[in-house]
């Protein structure tokens, strides 16, 4: 939804969503990364914000390809949502799942040492995003949900601040 503020400038309100599905070929990692970046470009993020999200998406998609589906081809779903200055990216596979999420998220842990994997995928996601949540079970696939709030200076932040009233503890306009 696009509205106009008091100065007549168009601004985005509410939530916007994008959903993408593709086969788990390794070359689709760059496709996912670029597609999410194109969707987020309208928010006018800083270069650092955009690179953080792109890196996290790359790591999550690579995990789905290498660990989720192993040597099989399956479907990876990327859902991206923008809610004001908050970006939420979900990467889902229906692969083999993770038996021990806590162990899998440990830095340097890899379930594929024979492939010379670094075991830093989840560490990178956590470093570049504000929140990372992993839901998984053996045989049920994995969903990685990553959140990042775009900082002051981005167009999204400025528009969000203009359209959001100051509310008191009871949710009433404090102005």
117 is catalytic: yes
CA–CA separation, 89 vs 107, rounded Å?
A: 22
Q: Which of 12, 33, 49, 63 is labelled catalytic?
A: 63
The count of other CB atoms within 10 Å of the CB of residue 4 is 9
The tokens for 37 are 């970046």
Which residues, 6 or more positions from 15, have their beta carbon under 8 angstroms from its beta carbon?
81, 82, 83
DSSP codes of every residue in 47-64? HHHHHHHHHHHHHHHHHI
72 is catalytic: no
Q: Which of 16, 79, 81, 117 is labelled catalytic?
A: 117
Nearest to 157 by CA among 27, 11, 54, 22: 11
59 is catalytic: yes
To which H or E segment does residue 30 belong? Answer: helix 28-40
Q: Which of 29, 49, 59, 94 is labelled catalytic?
A: 59
User: Coil, helix or strand for 163?
Assistant: helix
- Residues catalogued as catalytic: 59, 63, 117
């Amino acid at each position: 939804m696009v509205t106009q503020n008091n100065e007549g400038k168009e601004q985005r309100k509410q939530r916007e969503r994008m959903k993408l599905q593709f086969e788990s070929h390794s070359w689709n990692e760059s496709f996912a990364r670029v597609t999410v970046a194109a969707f987020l470009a309208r928010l006018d993020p800083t270069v650092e914000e955009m690179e953080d999200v792109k890196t996290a998406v790359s790591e999550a998609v690579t995990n789905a390809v290498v660990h989720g589906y192993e040597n099989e081809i399956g479907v990876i779903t990327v859902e991206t949502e923008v809610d004001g200055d908050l970006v939420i990216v979900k990467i889902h596979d229906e692969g083999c799942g993770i038996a021990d999420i806590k162990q899998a998220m440990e830095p340097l842990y890899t379930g594929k040492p024979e492939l010379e994997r670094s075991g830093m995928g989840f560490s990178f996601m956590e470093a570049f995003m504000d929140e990372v949540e992993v839901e998984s079970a053996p045989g049920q696939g994995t969903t990685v949900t990553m959140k990042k709030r775009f900082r002051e200076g981005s167009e999204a932040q400025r528009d969000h601040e203009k359209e959001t009233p100051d509310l008191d503890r009871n949710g009433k306009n404090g102005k």
